[in-house]
Amino acid sequence: MPVKDFRKAESRDDLRPIYQVEQKKWNAVAHDKMAGTQNIEPDFHTYARKSTTLPGISEFLGDLTGKRVLEVGCGLGRSTSMLAKSGAEVFAFDISSVSVCATGKRAENNGVDDRVRLFVAAGEEIPLKDGSFDVIFGKGVLHHINARMGAPELHRLLKPGGKAAFSEPLGMNPVLDFVRDYVPYPHKTPRGADIPLTYKDINDWGKPFSRIECCELQFLSMIERGFGFGKRVMWLRRLDNFLLARIPFLRRFCRYAVIMMEK
């Protein structure tokens, strides 16, 4: 089975070649960026309310004090430390052992390692008990995971009434797909076995849940990405809001989507 067809996998054995590709990629990325784990992070709500790719997630998840939170795909651990700084007890995992190590170093540097539990795992098989978490969070991770196997895992791990929130790249804009594959731009991460989401993928992730909401973002304002992180062009954002509210069909061509689900 070609690596790019991981969505068609019938069993976890089918996914082993994909895991090898992803582990190699993310181990290398985490190794190169290990120095960044010394950064001091804000709390999650402060960051999320200013983030261009997390709109509405802070309000949806609410107060995290005392909550048990699972982070899917912790990467270099920024969100892990921020969630812990917001008062949560955080369990975080990644398929990359080097990423998990980087997350641990960042948590220690931010003084929250006592509220963080880390482990190596794949999103299709998470070695934790049913109903363990109030909240599940991930940033740019669902498009690395087989939804048919991964969605039931997330659902079983949430407590009744629990919430899950993700920020994910969309893959329905052919121009954007070309840029992702072939055009260099600042802070670009190498492509691995990931496949940006379609509406069908989002529906597959939402099937086990009682409620799902999808909010597309960054239509014209996606060109900000070409200037690097944190550089906002406000007139583009205002134009996005105007167009997406009046021409819903354009939403499918956005760069990102926030996906919020409730058990």
pLDDT tens by residue, 19-70: 999 999 999 999 999 988 999 999 999 999 999 899 999 999 999 999 999 9
CA–CA dist 235, 250 (Å, integer): 18
Question: Per-residue pLDDT averaged across 1-5, rounded?
Answer: 56
CA–CA dist 262, 209 (Å, integer): 6
Residues 6 or more apart in contact with residue 64 via CB below 8 angstroms: 44, 45, 83, 86, 87, 88, 135
Residues 6 or more apart in contact with residue 20 via CB below 8 angstroms: none
What residues pair up with 258 in beta bridges, in sequence order? 167, 215
CB-based contact 3:18 (threshold 8 Å):
yes
Q: How many other C-beta atoms are found inside a 10 Å radius of the C-beta of residue 215?
A: 17
pLDDT in tens, 198-256: 999 999 999 999 999 999 999 999 988 777 655 678 899 999 999 999 999 999 999 99
Q: Are strands 89-94 and 133-139 parallel, antiparallel or unpaired?
A: unpaired
**Tokens 């991460």, located at residue:** 189
CA–CA dist 189, 180 (Å, integer): 9
Dig out the tokens for 120 from the structure: 């190596």
Q: Which domain CATH number covers 190?
A: 3.40.50.150
User: How far is C-alpha 77 from the geometric centre of its chain's CA atoms?
Assistant: 12
What is this structure's pTM? 0.94
The total domain count for the chain is 1
For the chain, give the percent of residues with pLDDT over 90.
83
Question: Per-residue pLDDT averaged across 195-199, rounded?
Answer: 96
Q: Is the dihedral of CA 227, 229, 231, 234 positive or negative?
A: positive
CA–CA dist 194, 122 (Å, integer): 14
CB-based contact 57:37 (threshold 8 Å):
no
Dig out the tokens for 102 from the structure: 């980087």
CB-based contact 205:151 (threshold 8 Å):
yes
Alpha-carbon distances of 132 from 73, 90, 150, rounded to whole Å: 17, 11, 16
Residue 162 half-sphere exposure, CB side, CA atoms within 13 Å?
21
**Confidence (pLDDT) at 4:** 61
pLDDT in tens, 75-119: 999 999 999 999 999 999 999 999 999 999 999 999 999 999 999
Domain that holds residue 103: 3-262
pLDDT in tens, 113-170: 999 999 999 999 999 999 999 999 999 999 999 999 999 999 999 999 999 999 999 9
**Confidence (pLDDT) at 2:** 45
With residue 45 as reference, give the H or E element that holds it: helix 44-50
Q: Are strands 158-169 and 256-262 parallel, antiparallel or unpaired?
A: antiparallel
CB-based contact 59:165 (threshold 8 Å):
no
Dig out the tokens for 168 from the structure: 């994910």
**Confidence (pLDDT) at 42:** 96
Listed residue (187, 145, 192, 148) closest to 166, CA to CA: 145
**Confidence (pLDDT) at 1:** 43
